[in-house]
Structure formats: C-alpha cells, structure tokens
Structure 1
Amino acid sequence: MPEQLQTNKGPEAYYKLASVWLLRGKADLAVEAYRNALDVDPFFVPACLELSALLIERSEFEEALSLCLRAIDGNPNNRLLLDRIKTIREKKASGVEKRQKSLSGIIGPRRIKNDERQAILVYSDCSGKDGAEQCSHIIMLDLEEAGYRVVCAQPFAEHSLVAERMRLGIEHYWLGEENLYAATDIKGLSLEDCQDLFSVVKPDLVFFSDGSPFSSLHAKKKAIEMGIPFVILTHCVNKQWRVERAPLMGDLRLVFENAEELVSVSNKNLIDLRANFSLPVNKGRVIYNGRPDKFFQKRDLSTRLRIRKELEISKNAVVCTTIGRMEVMKGYQYLLSAIEILKNTTIWPELQFVWIGNGTLENRFRSMAAEMGVDDSIHFLGSRNDIEDVLDASDLFVLPSQYEGMPLSVIEAMAKRLPVIASNVSGIPEALGSTGFLIPDPRANPTLASEQISSVIETWGPRIRNGEKMGQNAYERACKLFKSKKMLQSYRELVSLKLTKKLPQTYEIPTLASVQTEDFGSVGEGV
C-alpha cells in the first residue's frame, strides 16, 4: 500500500503517497507528504506545483512563493514554475487589497440610507458560482424583487453572480474563508466581528445558506445571543462529518434548537440531519432545488454543432458529460477507472468525455488521463457560464459522487432530456426516481461502481448513436419537481412566515410528510 512506502526512495515516493491522500480527500496529509518530498529534493517540480496549488487554495501565498522561488533555482527555465510564481504574486497582491477593505466598504451601488424595508441577511460560507451558490443567488434576487432589503455576507468573490447582485443594489460584506472540508477548522468571522456585522446590517432575519451542517457556527451563536431570528438552508450532509467534527456537536445542537427553521434540499439529507446531527424532530422541512427555464428548453441542434466544433468533437460521437468540482467527493477517480474498462470495448472509438469544473485535483486527474493514454478523449473545460449549451452538445450525463445534497447538475441534465448515470447517495435517488441508472455508493465498492458505469455507457451508447430518445421521462420529472419558480415560491413563503409568524393561505410550505417521497428509484434502474 502507498502508506507503507519507504522514505529512502526519494521524493517520488512521497509524491505518490500525497496523490493517494488527495484521492481519499485527506488534503492535510497530502500537504505533509508534498513537504516531505521537497525536504528530500527542494527542486522536485511536480511536488512543488501540487503543493503550491494547495497552498494557494488556502491563501497561504508566502509559503507557496517561497517553495517556488527555491525550486526555480534548480530549474531556471521551467515555464510551469515561472507561471506559478507570477500567479502567486498576483493573488497575493489581490489578497492584500481585499484585506484592506472594511466590512462595510463593499456595497451595492444603490444602497439606500434609512431603508425601511425588512432586511434579510443571506449569510453563506460558499463563495463560488456553482451548485449551492446558484441557489442562493436566485433566492436573493427573488427576495429583493419581493420587496425586502437583501444583504449578502460571504467570502470574497469576483464573478458574474456577485456582479449581477451588485448591479441590483444588493449590499455585500466579505467574510473570512471557513475551509468547510478541513475537519474542525471552522473560521469565518470571530464572534466580535459577527456582532459588528449584525449591528451594521440590523437584519430582521438571517438566512444561512450553508455548505455543511457545521457552517458559520460563530455567526449563528452570535445571532442567538443578540436575539436575531434565523433560518438555515443546509445544502450538503455527510455522516462522516459528525465523527470528524465531534467537538462541535454541542454548538450544533444549540444552533439547531434555536433556529426558526432548517431547510434540507432532500428527504435523505433531512433524515441524516435528524439521525446523526441532533436536529430536533420538530424542525426541518424539504424544499427541492430548482433550475431556471433556460435548462428546460429542447436541445438546440445549431448549439450542439457549435459546441462540438469548438471542442473538436465529431457530430457522431457519443458525448458523456460530468459537471462538478475536481475534488474527491465528486468521483472523477471512478470515472477514470470506468474509462480504463471502456478502452477495451467496441464503442470506445465513438466515446468522448466532457468534464466541467475546477478544483485541487484537476492537475492530478489530467496527469492520470495522460498516463492512461486517454487524454485525447477527455475534455477538461474548467468553469463554464454556458452549461445549458454544453448539455445541448451532450448525449448522456454521469455523476459518480460520494455524497451530495440535491445536485443541480443532475437536475439540469434531466431538464435537458439527457439519460443520467449517478450514485445512489444523498438526494440523487430522489432527483432521478426511476428515470436514470443508479450505481451503488462508490465508497462501499469502487470497483463495482466503475464496472457499472462502463457497462451502462457501453449499453446506452449504441442506442443513443441510433437516435433513440432516452431522456423524456427524466424531463417530465424535472418539470414536475425542479423548476426554480416552485423553489422560489417556497422560500418566499417561508421568509414571510418567519417574519410575520403567519403563514399566507395561498401556498402550503412542503414538509417531510407532504413532499413527494415515492418513486425514488433503486440501484440499477434504467431510463
């Protein structure tokens, strides 16, 4: 096993061990192994590049720059190192500028003094522009349209979602990064900073949009202390977090007991929150994620041909698309194993894989694809703003995640009438029902998961190539359950209820009992 590698085998041994830790989601152990590799050979470029990338993710620019400057001494013409040094210096300069901005210094352009509207503070530890952030974004826009004064508090970000909100006059306050997936390393704002933020915004309600049950604990505790009502939207639940963050369970119980309400994006996650994270039985409701109408349009032939031409993919190829962060929990490693099997099938020459997303494992997955000799068949697209167009160019969708909430990517694929292969974990079975193929939890049996992915692609590929329509049932289910209008109406009514303590008679907020729970699908279902 890689953990048993001997230290006298040089930096390569530590580098290999670090790669294994990354694939297992143990970033801290990977960092330690990369450091050991550079202790043995400070000029070892692969370890320097991988470690500096991880340090940049943590905003530890000084150490990252020091390592690269040391490595460049032994590799003076290495273009990758020179580019990395430039990137670190740019990010470091940008970070200094951000830290110089006060809490109230970055606001929307139309802030109104003495605004008498009820204030909703949307407080989130998620700062990207995919998944949970997409939901938070359209919720904020809808609440602003409903007449509330919406304020956003999140880690610093510069992307299209932030720009759109600021154009509409939504105030923004920047928080510290929490580093959600690093055991008990919950940072964010201090209790004192949270008090300052709440005192400035004066929210009538805080809407926490959380990446995990343990997100933003400081802010929630301060809201309790200051008597500010709050609701929680928890996007993702992983039972292992209870073990890794056991010291925080007392704080979590306190938060749950004092929350006005908790929203889960799936029944499975709500059950897990009650069974494993001490959510009281009188708290919790399910509101499914929803997507805008643009995803429910029929796949456009001209868009399909344009995207395929851009990617140099034949119009007759069978395109298998995956959307998700390049992290261990999204399961790209299982896809690579499935691709290794598919290389020996008759359909292999017709297959192309499109992967959308960034993350700490992107370079590692690229290297693995090259080592396997399949890099010409995998298109790494990074982050995209035209997901609906890429789905137009796709033939089926694959997501072998280890855990999820209610993944938007699966819903978007269903809305685009694509057949879906995905893991039987978290909210995915509720999303698919019996309209796709569910592989068993890949953590329990990685080999079986990869074998089933390859088998289904091999089976479905010829049907797709022959023009068979396979995603209509998925589309109809998405129309019924996952349109953004339905989701936004639920949140608007929930906010109104918690602000007025009176539920409007025109809409019934779904609870665990009232949300449709039948037809979740089972392992091995087909389209």
Structure 2
Amino acid sequence: MSGPLSRPTDRPADELTDEPTTGPVEAPVRVLWLAKGLGRGGAEQLLLNCARHADRSRYRIEVAYVLPWKDALAPALTEAGVTVHCLGGTPGTPGRADPRWPLRLRRLLAERRYHLVHTHMPVPAAAARVLAPTLAGPAPRLVHTEHNVWERYRPATRWANALTYRRNDAVIAVSHAVARTVPPGRRRPGEWVTVVHHGPDLAGAPGGPAARAAARAELGLPDGAFVVGTVGNLTPKKDQATLLAAHAALLRRHPGARLVLIGTGPLEDRLRARAGELGIEDAVLLTGSRPDVPELLPALDVFTLSSRQEGLPVALMEAMTSGLPSVVTRVGGMPEVLDDGEQGFLVPPGDPAALADAFARLAEAPELRTRLAAAARERAERFDVAGAQRAVEAVYARVLRH
C-alpha cells in the first residue's frame, strides 16, 4: 500500500468539494441507480449503504434492476425511502429475465425524466448508454461505477462496454486496481476516473464476548474452536475450492478448527461434494445466504477471502470494521486497504499452502490476532460510507454543472 488513506478518493482537493453546486439543475435532482440485480452481493449492498446516506434534500434517488429473482435487498431499499423498479418481470420470479427489459428501461427513462443515471453493472450500463440519446428532450447525464476489473468480463460484455463507454460523463472505480484496468482509449478526451473506497454501514453491529457466544450458538460452533470464515457468492472467481484445500491442510495441524462459508451460488453443491472428498465435511459449515452477516461475524477468529479476482469487497471492509484479522489474496483492491502483517496477511491466489500457513500462524498466536484485530478496526475507521456517498455526490454535482 502506498500510504495511509484518509479520504474516500485520492483526487486533488480542488476536485472534491462538499460545497453546494449552483448548476443548471435545481433540487431535487432526479437520479436513477441502475443495477443487474438486488441480491446480497457486495455491489448491491453498496447501493443500500449509499441510499441510507444520500443527501435527500438534493437528490431524489430511485433504483431499477433487471433480474427479478435477485431481489433480496429490494425491501430494505424501499424501507430506506427509495422507489424500486423491476425491469425484468415480476419480482421474485425465478428463471430468465424478460428480454423486453431494455424497452421497459427506455419507458422508465422517458416517463421519469431523470437528470442523471448512475449505472452499476456493465450490461444494463451499455443499454442505458444506447437508450439515453434516443429520448425526447435533454438526455440524462451518465455516471458509471466500475466494481470489477475489465479482465473479468466475458468477451461480449467487454465489447458492449468498449463500444459505448465514451458516452459516460464520469466514471467511478471502487479501487485503484479497478481504475487501472479501464482502457484509456475508451474514455472521453481529458476524462479522469474517480476512485472512491466505499466503507461498510455497520452502525450498531454487535461485538464483544456476548455477541461472540450468540453468533457461535446460532451457527452451532464449539465455544473453543478456532474458526475461519468467509462471506461471498459461491462462484469460480471467489475460489472457495482453494479455501477448502487450505482448511484440509490446517486440520492436520489443528484438528479442532472450523471453516464457515456464508453465501450461496452455483458452486454450492460442488463445494459440498469437494469437502466430502477431502474428508472435512464435519469441519466445514456452508450456511447459504444469510441476511444477518454483521451478527454472525463475531463468531469468527479470522476472516478470509481466497478470491482470484476482486474489485474492493464489501465483505472485507465489514470484517475489518468488526475487528477481525483477515487472510486474503493479493488481488484487486484488497492490498489498498490491508497491509500485509499489519491488519492481517496477504497471500498469492490459488495457493492453499500459503492460506493454511497464515491460518495456522494465527491459530497459534492469540496475541497476534488481538493486535491485528485492533489495527483492522482502526484502519476501517478511515472508510466511511457517508463520506463515500458525499464523494459520489460531488461527481454528480460536477457532471450536472456541464
């Protein structure tokens, strides 16, 4: 990491201001946040966190999403005062999204006449960039947040992004690692990418011995076990298969250890089978999707991510805020917020031996865990969701002035 992070973006101070803008758009500014789904993934959780801290005197925010079965966070957004639109069919309906969703998006844009559309996933973002110029009257300004490195996108998605990207009025990246993957040739002349490190929203989250005991009871974990846990979708990029191999190695040194995987995804059955093949199924708990992650984090001794690719995972920020030492792979934006040996350990991706060695080191040194936990909590205080939302709104103000 190049140095301490004291603000949610590293842009010069004269490019970030909390002063009110005197642009041509009068309050309330109508803003649409456009996402692929509203499941429990990190990018979706950011929408909810930011919605709770948006400047409602200045911005009237609505959310639209494409995949009707990914709607877990829709009720929380509604509770936060945000109008939610499902473009792909009836909310909660399994299966494919209605292919007419771009037509519904265009109708929504025409009817609601948003001043600004803030996109969060590449496919709906490309659709918005194509549709916005076709509307009668002034087209909405377009802001896009990059949550992942471009290399992760499928070829068709990458091409759709590349062909439409110059229509963005501004781009926000969740980490410097993500920002570096945006091809300069796809930006408008003179355009810069704003890096905003988002923090979690865990105000009032439980902690201490009572919270630890309650969380372990909820998960059925032994009081004295050394517990490593992770939170994330069960997908190839998260590489939980390597994590299982690492846990098998850890158990040879610490037979009472437990591994907790919180999340769901297409690889769930395969990972259960792999745990059985390794003979560690009794030491591995797959919880499925959980709405109470902040309440479960105190059950862990160590948080981990074995990802092969990341932008800047919300789960890591939540773990650090909860005062957990972390062992994560040296990918994406994770080295920007966690210093090796200071708040936890960074290991190479796809290396179960390195993961197991780091886990064993922490299992054998409670005082080291305590030191790293305190440093993690201190570092996490620099990442404030309210400050991140102010930085995003500063981008809005800039593009609306022009």
TM-score, normalised to structure 2, is 0.82
1:219 corresponds to which of 106, 109, 128: 128
Residue 230 (str. 1) matches residue 142 (str. 2): yes
Pairwise CA distance, 1:470 = 2.6
Counterpart residue number, 1:458? 360
Distance in 2 between residues matched to 1:333 and 1:467, nearest whole Å: 25
- Of the three residues 232, 238, 244, the one matched with 1:336 is 244
> What is the rounded CA distance, in whole Å, between the counterparts of 2:112 and 2:379 in structure 1?
40
Q: Which has the larger radius of gyration?
A: 1
**Residues 122-133 of structure 1: pairs in structure 2 closer than 5 A:** 122-133=33-44
Unaligned runs of 5+ in 2: 1-25, 90-95
Q: Does structure 1 retain, via aligned residues, the 8 Å contact 2:170–2:191?
A: no
Point out 4+ residue stretches in structure 1 off by more than 6 angstroms. 185-188
SS at 1:390 equivalent: helix
Pick one of 348, 351, 354 that aligns with 2:255.
348
Distance in structure 1 (CA, Å) of the matches to 2:192 and 2:134: 20
Listed as ranges, the matches of 1:306-317 within 5 Å are 306-317=214-225
Query: After superposition, what is the alpha-carbon deviation per residue over 1:136-169, rounded to whole angstroms, capped at 9, x for unaligned?
Result: 1232343363342222110325756311332455
**Which residue identity lines up with residue 280 of structure 2 in the other structure?**
V
Match of 1:172 in 2: 84
Higher helix share: 1
- 1:300–1:248 Cα change, 3 Å: closer
**Partner letter of residue 140 of structure 2?**
I
User: Any idea what SS the aligned residue of 1:143 has?
Assistant: coil
Matched to 1:484, the amino acid is V
- Residue in 1 that maps onto 2:31: 120
CA–CA distance in 2 between the matches of 1:339 and 1:130?
24
Aligned equivalents of 1:433, 1:247: Cα separation in 2: 33
Checking the alignment, whether the CA contact within 8 Å between 2:228 and 2:300 is kept in structure 1 is: yes
CA deviations on 1:464-520 (whole Å, 9 max, x unpaired) are 28974332222221112x22121111122222332234xxxxxxxxxxxxxxxxxxx
Does residue 1:405 correspond to 2:317, yes or no? no
For 1:90-489, what aligned pairs fall within 5 Å after superposition? Answer: 117-143=28-54, 145-155=56-66, 156-157=68-69, 161-176=73-88, 189=100, 191-210=102-121, 213-226=122-135, 227-241=139-153, 244-245=154-155, 249=159, 251-274=160-183, 278-280=186-188, 282-294=191-203, 299-345=207-253, 347-349=254-256, 351-434=257-340, 435-442=343-350, 449-464=351-366, 468-480=370-382, 482-489=383-390
Alpha carbons of 1:362 and 1:253: their partners in 2 closer, same or farther (altered >3 Å)? closer
- Count the aligned residue pairs: 364
Residues 307 and 116 of structure 1: CA distance in aligned 2, closer, same or farther (over 3 Å) = closer
CA 337–194 in structure 1, closer or farther in 2 if over 3 Å, else same: same
Cα distance between partner residues in 1 of 2:38 and 2:47 = 10
Contact 1:391–1:416, Cα closer than 8 Å, also in 2: yes
Alignment deviations for residues 83-105 of structure 1 (CA, whole Å, 9 cap, x no partner): xxxxxxxxxxxxxxxxxxxxxxx
> Could you tell me how far apart the structure 1 residues matched to 2:130 and 2:303 are?
41
Cα deviation, residue 209, structure 1 = 1.6
Q: Deviation string for 1:253-305 (max 9, x for gaps)?
A: 44322211000000011001136x8345623110111112437x673211111
Q: Which runs of 5+ in 1 are unaligned?
A: 1-114, 178-184, 443-448, 502-527
Partners of 1:369 and 1:424 in 2: CA distance:
25
What's the Cα RMSD here? 2.7
CA distance in 1, matches of 2:216, 2:377: 23
Percent identical? 24
Residue 381 and residue 197 in structure 1: after superposition, are their counterparts in 2 closer, same or farther (change >3 A)? same
State the alpha-carbon separation in 2 of the partners of residues 325 and 467 from structure 1. 26
Structure-2 separation of matches of 1:485 and 1:450: 37
**CA–CA separation in structure 2 for the residues paired with 1:166 and 1:206:** 19
For residues 320 and 362 of structure 1, the distance between their equivalents in structure 2, rounded to whole angstroms, comes to 18
- State how far apart, in whole Å, the 1-side matches of 2:377 and 2:158 are: 41
- Local SS of the residue matching 1:294: coil
Looking at structure 1, the residues matched to 345 and 155 of structure 2 have their Cα atoms a distance apart, in angstroms, of 33
Q: Contact 1:154–1:174 at 8 Å: present in 2 too?
A: yes
**Displacement of 1:432:** 0.8
- Partner residue, 1:96: none
Compute the displacement of 1:424 (Å): 0.9
